[in-house]
Amino acid sequence: ETGVTQTPRHLVMGMTNKKSLKCEQHLGHNAMYWYKQSAKKPLELMFVYNFKEQTENNSVPSRFSPECPNSSHLFLHLHTLQPEDSALYLCASSQVIGETQYFGPGTRLLVL
Amino acid sequence: GEDVEQSLFLSVREGDSSVINCTYTDSSSTYLYWYKQEPGAGLQLLTYIFSNMDMKQDQRLTVLLNKKDKHLSLRIADTQTGDSAIYFCAETAGSARQLTFGSGTQLTVLP
């Protein structure tokens, strides 16, 4: 399944590092999402973009900075993260907001 | 508020049927979904049902929706070891029409 791809698949970073997660969708969708999946917690919606415009920020700390340069690409820029930010970060896309979401494989992030 | 609940674990024997249950609270749900997550992977959309339906069948999968009781179930017939995974129930509801997920049910298929 290559509809939604994410890179890197695994990332280890120190608390002072800056890194970026990338998501690309090949489905012609207009809405893209970032989710965080931590152990033993439900998926948490972080950000929503609709036609490149951010429509939702679920009280996410500013050390996470999203960027959506076009409807096919979504980035999550990371800086000065904390160990509790270690999680699986999932990207998803849908035709428009409210329609069926298709997920990428995720980036497993470990913050040391 | 929105809340989706699932039991955490289910074990079945290979060849038996599995039934994974989910309850939700938001009566304005429009779509309800089942996603599958295998170890180390993202979420794979299995099936979904529109809120005005009460049943949907897709090969080995049967989804039942009881809107009155706000209860959704996923039945997997002839469960195989490859079906071992975490299954997430999710709903699209509310004015923002965002997905709300349950905590997932870990299905273990025993030989």
Q: Which of A41, A45, A103 sits opposite B42 (nearest CB)?
A: A103
Q: Which of A97, A100, A108 sits opposite B45 (nearest CB)?
A: A100
Residue A56 confidence (pLDDT): 82
- Whether the per-residue pLDDT at A37 is higher than 60: the answer is yes
Average pLDDT, chain A: 93
- Strands (DSSP E) along chain B, which ranges? 4-6, 9-13, 18-24, 31-37, 43-50, 55-58, 61-66, 71-76, 85-93, 98-101, 105-110
> Taking the mean position of all CA atoms in its chain, how far away is CA A102?
13
pLDDT in tens, B23-81: 998 878 788 999 999 988 899 999 999 988 999 999 999 999 999 999 999 999 999 99
B-facing residues of A in 45-64 (CB < 8 A) are 45, 48, 56
B25 beta partners: none
Residue B30 confidence (pLDDT): 82
- Whether the per-residue pLDDT at A94 is higher than 90: the answer is yes
- Whether the per-residue pLDDT at B2 is higher than 80: the answer is no
| pLDDT greater at residue B94 or residue B55 | B55
Residue B18 confidence (pLDDT): 97
Chain A interface test: which of B43, B45, B95 (most A C-beta within 10 Å): B43
pLDDT in tens, A50-62: 998 888 888 899 9
Non-local (6+) Cβ contacts of A59 within 8 A are none
Residue B95 confidence (pLDDT): 66
Chain A interface test: which of B56, B89, B98, B103 (most A C-beta within 10 Å): B98
Q: Do A48 and B43 touch (CB under 8 A)?
A: no
B-facing residues of A in 9-38 (CB < 8 A) are none
Tokens of A26: 């090949």
Q: Percent of chain A having pLDDT more than 70?
A: 98
Segment B5-24 shows an average pLDDT of 96
Tokens of B46: 């299995």
A30 beta partners: none
Compare all CA atoms of chain B with the CA of A36 and give the residue at the minimum distance.
Answer: B42
d(CA B7, CA A21): 32
- Whether the per-residue pLDDT at A1 is higher than 70: the answer is no
Among chain B, residues having any CB pair with chain A shorter than 8 Å are 4, 30-31, 33, 35, 40-45, 48, 88, 92, 96-104
Q: Do B33 and A108 touch (CB under 8 A)?
A: no
- The 10 Å Cβ neighbour count of residue A56 is 16
Angle (CA) A51 A55 A61, round 5°: 125
Compare all CA atoms of chain B with the CA of A106 and give the residue at the minimum distance.
Answer: B42
Residue A55 confidence (pLDDT): 86
